């Protein structure tokens, strides 16, 4: 299933394009991921676990591109000017009994948060899931830190509901702990 590129206007008036990740996005995508992780909220991954070398950067981009090629999911990038301002992916579960579930992950670079990129990417991922033939994806889910109020509000506005709470599942570097919420949307 292909995904049609979508042009949007961000809340600050600048144009952006939501489209599948391409190999040519590799370096900008890696920079976006590093900025999201460096901001310290929303991701459990650490900077040391990011793609840094040219080979790692290319391998990560290739993994995301292959989602669409294999039908396992899709990775979308929000392109602002000539850089990746945010990205998201939905990956179908590999086991037969849960193959109808798509798991979502999204990250928006701090410089582009609050401008509508997260909503546009989420809408694209949900549209991809709904477009799968024979109701192949009938549920999508995601994890979100309980203190990430803006993201929770976005997900709720798209129809997601809190289905579970992993208490004190995330520990920040300063020792603070927060819950990790499981949110789901039935399509």
Domain residues of the chain, as ranges? Answer: 6-135
Specify the CATH number for 6-135; select among 3.20.20.80, 3.40.630.30, 1.10.10.60, 3.40.1390.20.
3.40.630.30
pTM, whole model, 2 decimals? 0.93
pLDDT score at 50:
73
> What's phi and psi for 184, nearest 5 deg?
-135, 155
More confident residue, 125 or 48: 125
pLDDT score at 172:
86
**Mean of pLDDT over the chain:** 93
Burial status of residue 31 (CB atoms within 10 A of its CB: 0-12, 13-18, 19 or more): middle
Cβ neighbour number for residue 161 with a 10 Å cutoff? 11
Contact yes or no for 129/137 (Cβ under 8 A): yes
Rg, C-alpha atoms of the chain: 16
Contact yes or no for 43/109 (Cβ under 8 A): no
Per-residue burial over 75-94, b if 16 or more Cβ lie within 10 Å, else e, is bbbbbbeebbbbbbbbbbbe
- Per-residue pLDDT tens digits for 69-98: 998 999 999 999 999 999 999 999 889 999
């Amino acid at each position: 299933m292909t995904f049609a590129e979508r042009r949007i206007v961000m809340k600050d008036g600048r144009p952006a394009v939501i489209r599948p990740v391409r190999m040519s996005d590799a370096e900008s995508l890696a920079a976006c991921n590093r900025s999201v992780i460096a901001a310290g909220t929303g991701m459990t991954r650490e900077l040391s676990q990011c793609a840094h070398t040219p080979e790692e950067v290319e391998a990560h981009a290739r993994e995301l591109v292959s989602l669409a090629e294999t039908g396992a999911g899709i990775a979308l990038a929000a392109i602002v000017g000539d850089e990746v301002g945010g990205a998201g992916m939905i990956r179908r579960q590999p086991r037969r009994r849960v193959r109808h579930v798509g798991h979502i992950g999204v990250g928006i670079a701090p410089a582009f948060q609050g401008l509508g990129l997260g909503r546009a990417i989420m809408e694209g991922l949900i549209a991809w899931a709904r477009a799968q033939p024979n109701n192949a994806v009938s549920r999508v889910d995601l994890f979100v830190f309980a203190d990430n109020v803006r993201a929770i509000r976005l997900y709720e506005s798209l129809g997601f509901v809190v289905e579970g709470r992993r208490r004190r599942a995330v520990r920040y570097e300063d020792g603070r702990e927060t819950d990790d919420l499981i949110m789901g949307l039935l399509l």
